[in-house]
């Protein structure tokens, strides 16, 4: 990324100065380089210019709210985005994840939880670890997946996937023909345990189906196996 040190760069976008100072101090103790911005309208250019390894993005910001900040940068920023959301902003959390944000943390923030999520996102971004073999390319008829170049081609057109969408698709391809539960998916892709409530997998599957041209009501490419998980169908392409 843009910083010249060996520290991973996090851009914190938060207008609550007291909370920002707390987060900044805690993360700096964990050897991260932290930059801080208070306004959403100013954050857009900073994200695009600085290209931090991770953006921690509050939803309620002066100048431009967090969701619109993300909309404006998502095609020009390659790092991960972690949303900060108050408990009464559940709908905004879901919208943020549907847009492609990588994770969210509820405010008030527990520093240890935030640090764990930050580390998980950065680990996944640096190296997507697979649980099976070292295959880097998959071909399923009209769909080709190349892990090395992180490209997904469908009907000879490259799909525009976020980092976490590609990781999820690659994991499902790696287990084509197998039913994969939410627990297995979360542990492999996000490196966290499933708490029984997290909707990350369901939202990402819905987005993938849309981009893959799968039927949202009666999907035949990534099937829902009720009570068990999801099945990537080998012969549906």
Q: Looking at the predicted structure, is the pLDDT value of residue 80 above 70?
A: yes
pLDDT above 70 coverage of the chain, percent: 83
pLDDT at 9: 94
What domains sit in the chain, N to C, each tagged with a CATH number? 9-126 (3.40.50.2300), 137-232 (1.10.10.10)
Per-residue pLDDT band at 133 (split at 50, 70, 90): very low
Per-residue pLDDT band at 98 (split at 50, 70, 90): low
pLDDT at 184: 85
Which DSSP string corresponds to 191-210? S----S---HHHHHHHHHHH
133 vs 76 pLDDT, higher one: 76
Per-residue pLDDT band at 32 (split at 50, 70, 90): very high
What span, in angstroms and rounded, lies between the C-alpha atoms of 62 and 147? 39
Could you tell me if 16 and 38 are in contact, meaning their C-beta atoms sit under 8 angstroms apart?
Answer: no
pLDDT at 126: 59
Per-residue pLDDT reduced to its tens digit, 147-156: 777 888 999 8
Q: Looking at the predicted structure, is the pLDDT value of residue 136 above 60?
A: yes
Cα 53 to Cα 47, 95, 188, 206, 214: the distances in Å are 10, 22, 21, 26, 32
Per-residue pLDDT band at 198 (split at 50, 70, 90): low
The residues near 34 (Cβ < 8 Å, ≥ 6 apart) are 10, 11, 12, 23, 24, 27, 28
Q: Looking at the predicted structure, is the pLDDT value of residue 95 above 80?
A: no
Q: Rg (Cα) of the chain, in Å, rounded?
A: 18
Over residues 44-60, mean pLDDT: 91
* Number of Cβ within a 10 Å radius of residue 3: 14
Q: Which stretch, 6-15, 70-79, 96-105, 115-124, has highest mean pLDDT?
A: 6-15
Q: Looking at the predicted structure, is the pLDDT value of residue 131 above 50?
A: no
Over residues 29-49, mean pLDDT: 94
Q: Looking at the predicted structure, is the pLDDT value of residue 46 above 90?
A: yes
By C-alpha distance, which of 13, 203, 177, 6 is closest to 91? 203
Over residues 106-118, mean pLDDT: 86
Mean pLDDT score of the chain: 83
Supply the angle between the helices 17-29 and 111-126 in degrees, to the nearest 10.
Answer: 60
Q: Which stretch, 5-9, 123-127, 206-210, has highest mean pLDDT?
A: 206-210
């Amino acid at each position: 990324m843009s910083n010249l040190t060996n520290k991973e760069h996090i851009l914190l976008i938060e207008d609550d100065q007291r909370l920002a100072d707390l987060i900044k101090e805690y993360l700096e103790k964990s050897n991260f380089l932290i930059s801080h911005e208070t306004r959403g309208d100013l954050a857009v250019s900073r994200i695009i210019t600085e290209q931090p390894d991770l953006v921690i993005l509050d939803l309620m910001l002066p100048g431009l709210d967090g969701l619109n900040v993300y909309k404006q940068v998502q095609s020009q920023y390659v790092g991960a985005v972690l949303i900060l959301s108050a408990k009464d902003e559940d709908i905004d959390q879901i919208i943020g994840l549907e847009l492609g944000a990588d994770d969210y943390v509820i405010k008030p923030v527990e520093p240890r939880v935030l640090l764990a999520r930050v580390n998980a996102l950065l680990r996944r971004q640096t190296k997507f670890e697979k649980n099976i073999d070292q295959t880097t390319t998959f071909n399923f008829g009209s769909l080709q997946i190349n892990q090395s170049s992180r490209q997904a081609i469908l009907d000879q057109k490259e799909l525009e996937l976020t980092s976490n969408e590609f990781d999820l698709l690659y994991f499902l391809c790696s287990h084509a023909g197998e039913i994969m539960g939410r627990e297995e998916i979360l542990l492999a892709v996000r490196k966290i345990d499933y708490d029984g409530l997290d909707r990350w997998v369901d939202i990402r599957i819905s987005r993938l189906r849309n981009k893959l041209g799968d039927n949202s009501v009666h999907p035949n490419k990534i099937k829902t196996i009720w009570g068990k998980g999801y099945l990537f169908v080998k012969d549906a392409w």
